[in-house]
Amino acid sequence: MNIPAVAGRLALNRFVLDEERPHIVVNQVLAKSTGTAERIIAVCPAKVYSWAADGTVAVEYAGCLECGTCLAVAYPGALEWHYPGGGFGVQFREG
Amino acid sequence: MNGGGGAPVDFDVIVIGAGPAGLMTAHSLARVGRSVVVIERGEAVGSKNLSGGIMYCHAIREVFPDFLDSAPVERLIARNVLVFGTGSGHVAIDYADQRLSAAGTAVTVLRARLDPWLAARCEEAGAMVMPGLRVDSLLIEGGRVAGVVAGQDELRSHVVVAADGVNSFIARGAGFRPPPKMSQLGVGIKGVVKLSEAQINDRFQLAEGQGAAFSITGEVTGGIGGGGFLYTNRDSVSVGLILRLDDLTAQGGDSSVLFEGLLANRFVAPYIDGGRLIEYGSHLVNEGGQAMMGDIVWDGLVAVGDAAGLTINTGLTVRGMDLAVGSGIAAAKGIDAALAAGDATAQGLAGYPAALRESFVGQDMSTFAKMPAFLENPRLYRDYGQLTADVLRGVYNLDLTPRRPLLSLARQAVRESPVRIRQLLADSLKAVRAL
């Protein structure tokens, strides 16, 4: 079977994007000093997090699957993460 | 009647989250005449809900005797396969039994279909279901939960039910539940692969309407605590991994790459060959067992289902939805009694934990309490599949050298593996005790 890369897999899902209110905010200083950055980049099944060219952690919150794994492995305070507002975010058609 | 003698209420009960736990709580309460609203953050009921896909359904069938005929279930499980992957092949236990499907023990489900059906049953019973609204926090007055805050709105009730899933933000946000440890959580990653009904029947050797559940351990997780699964839906297959977070982060594992490896795995790939991936999702899984439960009742608040830490992973079966259903029924019992007595304090709601303890949920949580510690043993994921394969190789690999008895082959396989006899005996004993 042809296995699409993560971006292609996410494109199969329906997302309702809340452009005005990102539901994820990274505390860049804490994320780097605590190792949270490496952890969340590796652990996220949707590849929401990546290293930006300027050395900060970039966040593609639009493709978030809302599992909460990043928050579970983050150092307390390094990541502000809550569910998107009602009706926003991923909308599973199969589940 | 007033909750704590304060302002009048909008509903007797507000349920946060339209999954099986919340919906069964709401259904049971609406059926006895309580006013109930279920608030769901997804655009539609079911749109945020994801599970591996096996639902053990005796509990829900007691509430809905027509469940197997009327609910949108995918297939009746008639075959369970346990697979230990090794570097060069696999060893499997394949248990197919018509008695399982005849008894209607377990079904595969897709939650975007099942949960709207449950919500419709709730509405028929008189509950109100409000999707598209996120509860931001609890309304706390005089030290007790008096309702919920959603955007600009406050809604008041005598009792709030936190049925908001594994992240349990509602109870955690108010400081009622501690955040779980990494060893108590796994990340589940699932793909749904479209195939025809006939292809699935052929490949999995199933009669029409019957389903298979494959549980795969060993090399598919790259030695990380956890396992893979392959479940048949009517005309699709759910394929995924559960990876324990402590192990995954300690080994720096990339979950999306491990998922790709699962789909390409030599055992898994033939089952999904020629299929088309139609959805990709992830969801946390409680792995801590009974130790994760803790408090589930506070003044004006109860937690049910995943939000109460209710999951059982025995290594052979992973159960959540049946426990969610059972806890919803038990919570409704306790809440109804509290409302009748006009006492929605933790003490007034004590009928819920009592009913839960007496039910199959409490009993099974207690029976399998030692399982999470047992499953933390890395030898389960790294060594035992290989060891079994090495013993069997000695049996089947006839090469003109004189044959040796099985016991001697086993001794040699253990000698050559990293596992020590003492560990093997200790682990066997622990397995028997934990199961």
Paired tokens of B3: 């909750």
Per-residue pLDDT, B1: 43
Which of B54, B167, B263 best probes binding to A when mutated, by most A CB atoms within 10 angstroms?
A: B167
Nearest to A12 among B112, B273, B278 (CB): B278
**What domains, with CATH codes, occur in chain B?**
11-73+110-180+290-368 (3.50.50.60), 183-286 (3.30.9.90), 375-434 (no CATH)
Q: Residue B430's pLDDT is what?
A: 85
At residue B6, the pLDDT reads 58
Asked if B94 and B55 touch (Cβ cutoff 8 Å), the reply is no
CB contact under 8 Å between A43 and B112, yes or no, is no
How close, in Å, is residue A63 to chain B by CA atoms? 11
The neighbour count for residue A80, using CB atoms within 10 Å, is 13
- Name the CATH code of domain A6-91 (choices 2.70.210.12, 3.30.70.20, 3.10.129.10, 3.30.70.380): 3.30.70.20
Looking at CA atoms only, how far is residue B349 from chain A in angstroms? 29
Nearest CA in chain B to A93: B112
Between chain A and chain B, the number of residue pairs with CB atoms below 8 A apart is: 144
The verdict on a CB contact (< 8 Å) between B41 and A87 is yes
pLDDT given for residue B343 in this prediction: 98
Q: Tell me which chain B residues have a C-beta less than 8 angstroms from the C-beta of A1.
A: 193, 263, 269, 272-277
Q: Which of B108, B244, B279, B306 best probes binding to A when mutated, by most A CB atoms within 10 angstroms?
A: B279
Phi then psi for residue B338, to 5 deg, are: -65, -40
Q: For B110, which residue in chain A has the nearest alpha carbon? A: A95
Q: In Å, how far is A16's CA from the nearest CA of chain B?
A: 9
Report CB contact under 8 Å: B281, A69: no
Long-range contact pairs involving B259-267 (C-beta distance under 8 Å, separation at least 24): B259/A45, B259/B189, B259/B191, B260/A3, B261/B220, B261/B222, B262/B220, B262/B228, B263/A1, B263/A3, B263/B191, B263/B239, B264/A3, B265/B85, B265/B216, B265/B219, B265/B220, B265/B228, B266/B89, B267/B83, B267/B85, B267/B90, B267/B216, B267/B220
B326 within 8 A of B356, measured Cβ to Cβ: yes
**Out of A73, A85, A95, closest to residue B49 by CB:** A95
- Dihedral over Cα of B114, B120, B122, B128: its sign: positive
Which residue ranges of chain B lie beneath pLDDT 70?
Answer: 1-6
C-beta atoms of A45 and B277 within 8 A: no
- Tell me whether 0.95 is exceeded by the ipTM: yes
User: Please, are residues B46 and B40 in contact by the beta-carbon 8 Å criterion?
Assistant: no
pLDDT digits (tens, 9 = 90+) for B249-298: 999 999 999 999 999 999 999 999 999 999 999 999 999 999 888 899 99
> Taking the domains of chain A in order of start, what are their residue ranges?
6-91
Residue contact A72–B182, C-beta within 8 A:
yes
In 3D space, the residue among A25, A68, A81, A84 whose CA is nearest the CA of residue B151 turns out to be A84
- Contacting residues of A for B254, CB less than 8 Å apart: 42-43
Q: Nearest C-alpha of chain A: how many angstroms from B258?
A: 9
Chain B residues with CB under 8 Å of A12 CB are 277-280
Which of B110, B115, B187, B241 is best to mutate for the A interface (most A CBs within 10 A)?
B187
Contacts of A89 in chain B (CB under 8 A): 48
Q: What digits encode the pLDDT tens for the residues A10-19?
A: 999 999 999 9
The nearest alpha carbon in chain A to B180 belongs to: A72
| DSSP per residue, B219-245 | GGGTT-SEEEEEEE-SSEEEEEEEEEH
As a whole number, the mean pLDDT across chain B is: 94
The alpha carbon of residue B253 and the mean position of all alpha carbons in its chain are separated, in whole angstroms, by 23
- Nearest chain A residue to B256 by CA distance is A45
Q: Could you tell me which residues of chain A have a Cβ less than 8 Å from any Cβ in chain B?
A: 1, 3-4, 6, 9-10, 12-13, 16, 38-39, 42-47, 65-69, 71-73, 82-87, 89-95
The CA distance from B240 to the nearest CA of chain A, in Å, is 12
Res B3: pLDDT:
43
> Do B187 and A87 make contact, defined as CB atoms within 8 angstroms?
no
Q: Do A1 and B275 touch (CB under 8 A)?
A: yes
For B83, counting Cβ atoms within 10 Å of its Cβ (0-12 exposed, 13-18 middle, 19+ buried), the class is buried
Helix or strand (DSSP H, E) at B211 = strand B210-218
| Under 8 Å between Cβ of A31 and A10 | no
CB < 8 Å to B41, chain A: 83-87
Question: Chain B residue closest to A76 (CA)?
Answer: B179
The partner residues of B284 in beta bridges, in order of sequence, read B187
CB contact under 8 A, A1 and B256: no
Within 10 Å of residue B190's Cβ, how many Cβ atoms?
26
B106 membership: H or E segment, kind and range: strand B106-108
Q: What is the pLDDT of residues A67-77, one digit of tens each?
A: 999 999 999 99
Identify the CA nearest to B212 among candidates B97, B89, B72, B314.
B97
Q: Do the chains contact at A45 and B50, CB–CB below 8 Å?
A: no
